[in-house]
Structure 1
């Protein structure tokens, strides 16, 4: 068994989101996968058995992880060549196309968004130490889904996004109770551009550097509210010193959301 290490959504090993990748995990139990993920300490690691792909944070298994999916597809592309790889995940079937340059595009399971309960929003903002006056009224808070659930909360200033200082135990408990995987914090930088940050205390990580699952969910959020173009660029990880780029594509008539990014071996 070989444990590979890749950074997704970057061509620079110092950027993007690191992930562990095991391309032949047939001999591993779930507990052993969790132990490997905890030892690596990345936000998630991916374990491939045939066409089944499982994801583990240092604390628990998660239903879907975009950056570890991209990392796995890039690793397979380097070994088997360009093409489409279809993974069976706990959230559903996820196809990923790797082009001749090693750039991967995943298509999420059917994605959607719903209104957030006002009590949940109050508790979320309290845990984040945000005030309602700091929210962008053009981007209302919602819960978005593309294989995992993510609250979407938009700041009305880049400064608010930059000053991330949340109450870890309170936010972790709220997210575990509600079944949320990360929180998608965004600031709109232009008509088709957003800066993004993702608290991930339920995974034992203060912040995720580049979050493909949340990017896909955010695509559904924009589509449902008619707020985004067909292609949206997300910048994430800059505040952590690990800049990454995620391209979100909305295809008319397609229930899933496409997320594209590079990958590089560490």
Structure 2
């Protein structure tokens, strides 16, 4: 049975839709890829129960398997929480172990908080930045100098690009084929474009051509990588909570919160999810 959830929202018309298969035992890779292509969302999650609160989880875009997906993890964990209540779920992903704390309010919403794989960041190669900006339709003058362009990782690589204004973020109109080819060559899963409203409030957009999707309305893996980037560059304090507004420019507003774990390289990313039948 394929469930459909919108993650990082309490409104099924917002957030990032994900397919969820709660028991995928017996499914082959080819079958899972075919299901993901038929569902057509940026990712569908396939859960393999291992006993108790432990599961192996795999994620497929319509084009390929991905090692880790934040919004599909949140969607899957909320779906489990609706059935089993509050608790901690232990997931094995291809990017490493991911624990998810689920809080199910009586007759109320379910919130899931994932703990990402370790986050790290490094400066992007200047030639790669130039090529990415050309594909994205931006120039170096469009960048916010307070945020150097980096490749950040919390399970997957994301090019992190800070823009100088909200208007520039809203005006995104990129070359799908050119950016997709560059990202495939550099092993970037998304480009995390953002504008800083304040030191801890950000607006983001995430082109996702490697997955066959023009844009992701909510990207938990990118939120974790981005928060690690902010921490490593001392742009936030260790006890700050980062709020990310995403999806508004594509009509699917999403809300993500993220915070670094003290004395740990991992990041906690929180959100709700809601089940729907169709879009």
Q: TM-score, normalised by structure 2?
A: 0.94
Q: Spell out the pairing of 1:224-263 with structure 2 (5 A cutoff).
A: 224-229=232-237, 230-263=240-273
Segments of 5+ residues of structure 1 without an aligned counterpart are none
CA contact (8 A) 2:82 2:104 kept: no
Match of 1:35 in 2: 34
Out of 179, 188, 199, the position equivalent to 1:180 is 188
TM-superposed CA distance for 1:251, in Å, is 2.1
TM-superposed CA distance for 1:137, in Å, is 0.2
Match of 1:76 in 2: 80
TM-superposed CA distance for 1:191, in Å, is 2.2
TM-superposed CA distance for 1:129, in Å, is 1.1
User: What SS does the aligned partner of 2:18 have?
Assistant: strand
Q: Distance in 1 between matches of 2:175 and 2:205?
A: 15
Out of 165, 171, 193, the position equivalent to 1:163 is 171
CA contact (8 A) 2:152 2:226 kept: yes
User: What SS does the aligned partner of 2:197 have?
Assistant: strand
Kindly report structure 1 stretches of 4+ aligned residues shifted beyond 4 Å: none
User: What SS does the aligned partner of 2:159 have?
Assistant: strand
Q: TM-score, normalised by structure 1?
A: 0.98
Aligned residues: CA RMSD: 0.7
Q: Distance in 2 between matches of 1:103 and 1:235?
A: 17
Q: Distance in 1 between matches of 2:76 and 2:222?
A: 18
CA contact (8 A) 2:151 2:159 kept: yes
Q: Spell out the pairing of 1:136-155 with structure 2 (5 A cutoff).
A: 136-155=144-163
Match of 2:93 in 1: 89
